[in-house]
């Protein structure tokens, strides 16, 4: 499976970075208008003949669920005038750089989209596994807990589909993708003779550079036909993941409210549990498991608060 190997996954991510971002217009909309490319386009493209036939079938069937407020028009990349594509996501460069067997081989691209995640999640049954959706600009990007995620021109925004049968490993997907991103960045720097960029992982799903958040991973799942639509084998990547994250040996204060009292426990982060949650050990050697959905984390202040219902 692709996600077992960060180097292979980096192929997808490296290919995705093949975009030109040196735009000279004051706003994305102004640039798109001046280039003659409609913001309302949703472009389909495949790497092989078979995938291009799949793209044609998707367009012909008109089964994709698209946001009504965007009024998107489906178009095949082969139908577009390449002369107006300069300055936008470079589909040909992306496909030429891609070396995966499944992921990213069917591409959905738009110059301006509310959310790549919405396109993918609303159409999982209509799209082949591994379909990737990319946007030059997102106007309604979101993060965890429905937080707004700013997505201006020049950033890398994409979503893709995958499927797994064991629901216990679903939480690990965000770790694998985080690790793949850091490995892809290292790979790109190395291949282009650039100094290494020390991007680190902040658990559970953020990427940081020099103390600033530069990226995040949003992983959602649905359950259908005894499979999770989001495979096994994170153990082979765990050592590399731990080397990349920010928390090895970090001591944090866990706050819990007991009636009217706030109780504090000092724990040391040791790693991950088999379920993908944080494994921490107290000074009394008591082990605990910290879940992202049940706690509020401020790791830079060394504080974990139990969320109150």
**DSSP of 260-302, one letter per residue?**
TEEEEEEEEEEEE-TTSSEEEEETT--EEEE-TTTEEEETTTT
For the CA atoms of the chain, what is the radius of gyration?
21
The tokens of 34 are what?
């001046």
What's the total number of domains in the chain?
2
If asked whether residues 202 and 281 sit together in one domain, one would say no
Domain boundary among 203, 222, 243: 243
Most confident of 75-79, 249-253, 258-262, 301-305: 75-79
The whole-model pTM stands at: 0.75
If asked whether residues 139 and 256 sit together in one domain, one would say no
Q: What range defines the domain where residue 258 resides?
A: 251-306
pLDDT at 50: 96
If asked whether residues 221 and 107 sit together in one domain, one would say yes
If asked whether residues 211 and 83 sit together in one domain, one would say yes
Domain boundary among 243, 267, 295: 243
Strand 303-306 to 295-298 pairing: antiparallel
**Of the candidates 156, 68, 74, which has an alpha carbon nearest to the alpha carbon of residue 108?**
74
If asked whether residues 70 and 193 sit together in one domain, one would say yes
Q: What mean pLDDT is predicted for residues 82-101? A: 86
pLDDT of 28 higher than 80: no
Q: What mean pLDDT is predicted for residues 23-28? A: 39
If asked whether residues 107 and 180 sit together in one domain, one would say yes
Residues with Cβ within 8 Å of residue 166, at least 6 apart in sequence: 228, 231, 232
If asked whether residues 226 and 281 sit together in one domain, one would say no
If asked whether residues 81 and 178 sit together in one domain, one would say yes
pLDDT of 57 higher than 90: yes
Domain boundary among 218, 243, 268: 243
Task: Return the bridge partners of 201, or none.
Answer: 207, 245
Q: What mean pLDDT is predicted for residues 127-132? A: 93
Give yes or no for a contact between 163 and 103, defined as CB atoms under 8 angstroms apart: no
If asked whether residues 288 and 146 sit together in one domain, one would say no
**Of the candidates 300, 304, 301, which has an alpha carbon nearest to the alpha carbon of residue 289?**
304
If asked whether residues 181 and 262 sit together in one domain, one would say no
The CATH number linked to 232 is: 3.30.930.10
The tokens of 66 are what?
């698209």
């Amino acid at each position: 499976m692709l996600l077992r190997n960060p180097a292979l996954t980096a192929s997808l991510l490296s290919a995705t970075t093949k975009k030109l971002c040196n735009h000279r217009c004051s706003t994305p909309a102004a640039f798109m208008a001046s280039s003659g490319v409609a913001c309302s386009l949703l472009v389909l493209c495949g790497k092989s003949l078979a995938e291009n036939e799949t793209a044609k079938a998707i367009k012909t069937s008109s089964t994709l669920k698209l946001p009504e407020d965007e009024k998107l028009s489906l178009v095949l990349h082969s139908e577009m005038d390449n002369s107006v594509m300069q300055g936008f996501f470079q589909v040909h460069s992306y496909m030429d750089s891609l070396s995966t067997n499944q992921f990213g081989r069917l591409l959905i691209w738009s110059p301006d989209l509310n959310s790549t995640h919405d396109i993918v999640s609303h159409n999982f049954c209509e799209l082949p596994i591994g379909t990737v959706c990319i946007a030059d600009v997102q106007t309604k990007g979101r993060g965890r807990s429905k937080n707004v995620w700013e997505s201006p021109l020049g950033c890398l925004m994409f979503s893709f589909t995958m499927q797994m049968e064991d629901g216990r490993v679903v939480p690990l997907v965000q770790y694998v993708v985080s690790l793949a991103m850091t490995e892809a960045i290292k790979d790109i720097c190395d291949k282009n003779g650039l100094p290494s960029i020390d991007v680190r992982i902040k658990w559970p799903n953020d990427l940081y550079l020099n103390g600033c958040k530069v990226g995040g991973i949003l992983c959602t799942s649905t359950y259908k036909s005894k499979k999770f639509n989001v495979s096994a084998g994170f153990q082979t990547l765990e050592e590399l993941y731990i080397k990349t994250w920010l928390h090895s040996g970090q001591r944090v204060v866990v706050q819990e409210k007991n009636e009217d009292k706030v109780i504090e426990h000092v724990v040391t982060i040791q790693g991950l549990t088999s379920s993908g949650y944080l494994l921490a050990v107290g000074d009394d050697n008591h082990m605990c498991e910290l879940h992202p959905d049940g706690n509020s984390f401020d790791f830079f202040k060394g504080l974990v608060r139990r969320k109150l219902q």
